[in-house]
Amino acid sequence: MPITTSAKKALRNSARKRMFNLERQDTLNKAVKKIRKMAAEKNKDARKFLSEAYQAVDKAVKTGLIKANTGARKKSRLSKLVKKIV
């Protein structure tokens, strides 16, 4: 356990950031899974949810959760997947 005041504050901040990061990661994963599931079912509505997935990926990149190239790769693969359906 932290002893100094600054160490206690760092622990609080770390826990708070972890909570936000887990929430963002969960949002990202759910959006990507939703698109992949729709693609597997050949659901034409996947295109509507593509922007939602893009938004989640962009937010994850912006906040440093994933790197820019990883985000670009995810978006590219999702659009490729949706393009096959339509």
Range of the domain at 78: 5-85
CATH number for the domain including 29?
1.20.58.110
Query: Quick one: pLDDT at residue 35?
Result: 94
| Rounded Cα gap, residues 86 and 59, in angstroms | 26
CA 79 vs CA 2, 12, 21, 43, 51: distances in Å: 46, 39, 25, 14, 10
Q: What is the pLDDT, as a whole number, of residue 2? A: 87
Output the pLDDT for position 54: 96
Residue 86 has pLDDT above 80, yes or no: no
DSSP string, 6-40: HHHHHHHHHHHHHHHHHHHHHHHHHHHHHHHHHHH
User: Residue 85 — very low, low, confident or very high, per pLDDT cuts 50/70/90?
Assistant: confident
**58-73 pLDDT, tens digit each:** 999 999 999 999 999 9
Find the angle CA(78)-CA(27)-CA(47) to the nearest 5 degrees. 35
Q: pLDDT tens digits, residue range 3-41?
A: 999 999 999 999 999 999 999 999 999 999 999 999 999
How many domains, in total, are found in the chain? 1
